[in-house]
């Protein structure tokens, strides 16, 4: 699968996308107002969160559907959410966490078109997702990124899995005891 992308259309209902987007906006406001972030939540800026409960729930909810695209079972590792603002970009990169073996990018909310570019050996494949669409890819071996966003707000969820019988199976839940809890701090 290293160079392959699979697009699944409308796998998350509009209602669920609206609900998850609202959850993420509330989380951003709470974290800014609590002082965990130093910037004002009223400004357009990048807000990211590792494995919030509502996205870890989406990770489990979509797992059977994502798994249908593979010959073997998957284990959930972690979720990640990001709110992009005007002119935010995603520089081309490879997913660097070993627990990102299988990546799923989900469009939860947007007010403008914004393609996700995959840098394949002989071409760039631009994937445009509508609200509720997802794209499945092999993050550690398929470079991907986004140009600056022309809209005002894009909310994306990123879900990650490893193969149940693969060499990374020990990374289930990203080595956490269960989903929804933070990664252990390094001493």
What percent of the chain is helix, strand and coil (3-state, nearest 5)? Answer: 25, 35, 45
CA 167 from centroid of its chain's CA atoms: 23
Instruction: Output the pTM of the full model.
Output: 0.91
- Given a cut of 70, the residues of the chain with pLDDT beneath it are 1, 35-45, 187
Encode pLDDT of 85-133 as tens digits.
999 999 999 998 999 999 999 999 999 999 999 999 889 999 999 999 9
Contact by Cβ (8 Å): 138, 4: yes
* Domain boundary assignment for the chain: 6-34+44-168
CATH architecture of the domain with residue range 6-34+44-168: Sandwich (2.60)
């Amino acid at each position: 699968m290293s160079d392959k992308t699979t697009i699944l259309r409308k796998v998350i209902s509009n209602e669920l996308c609206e609900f998850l987007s609202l959850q993420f906006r509330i989380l951003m406001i709470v974290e800014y107002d609590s002082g965990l972030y130093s910037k004002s939540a009223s400004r357009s800026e990048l807000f990211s969160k590792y494995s919030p409960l509502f996205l870890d729930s989406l990770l489990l909810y979509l797992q059977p559907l994502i798994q249908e695209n593979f010959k073997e079972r998957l284990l959930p590792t972690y979720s990640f959410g990001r709110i992009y603002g005007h002119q935010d970009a995603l520089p081309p990169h490879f997913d660097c966490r070993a627990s990102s073996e299988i990546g799923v990018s989900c469009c939860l909310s947007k007010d403008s078109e914004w393609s996700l570019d995959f840098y394949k050996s002989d071409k760039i494949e631009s994937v445009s997702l509508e609200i509720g669409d997802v794209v499945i890819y092999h993050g550690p071996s398929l470079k991907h990124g986004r140009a600056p966003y022309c809209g005002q707000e894009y909310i994306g969820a990123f879900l990650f899995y490893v193969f149940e019988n693969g060499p990374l199976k020990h990374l289930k839940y990203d080595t956490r005891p269960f989903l929804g809890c933070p990664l252990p701090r390094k001493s």
